[in-house]
Amino acid sequence: MTQLHEEMSIVSVISKYPQTIPVMLDYGIQCIGCRHAEYESLREACRCNGIADSKRFLTDLNKAIASIPPQEEIEPRILCYEHDSNDEQEFAA
């Protein structure tokens, strides 16, 4: 069984295990779609978001992936909106 670890990047986790997104949001990690998510590790996300119990966070992420098989990894996308319009632009992360 796959276990997530604290050195994995946010993007590598959510692209393969999208069921972890609600867990991250519950812990206040809002950087799921930001460009730093590609490089920021789960450990760094805990530190930057004030999550003191990173082991519990990892346990909760691993519980989320335990019963659902991984998906084929998809290329992450970042949606950006122009300030002066509602036009949506999509960029590869």
At residue 41 the predicted structure's pLDDT band, cuts being 50, 70 and 90, is: very high
pLDDT of residue 68: 73
**DSSP secondary structure letters along 8-40:** SBHHHHHHH-GGGHHHHHHTT--GGGSGGGGT-
pLDDT of residue 85: 47
Sign of the Cα torsion 5, 59, 19, 38 reads negative
pLDDT of residue 87: 52
Q: What is the mean pLDDT of the chain?
A: 80
What CA–CA distance (Å, rounded) separates 11 from 26?
A: 17
What CA–CA distance (Å, rounded) separates 30 from 50?
A: 12
pLDDT of residue 72: 59
Statement: the pTM of the whole predicted model exceeds 0.75: no
Adjacent-strand bridge partners of 84: none
Q: Specify the DSSP class assigned to residue 69.
A: P
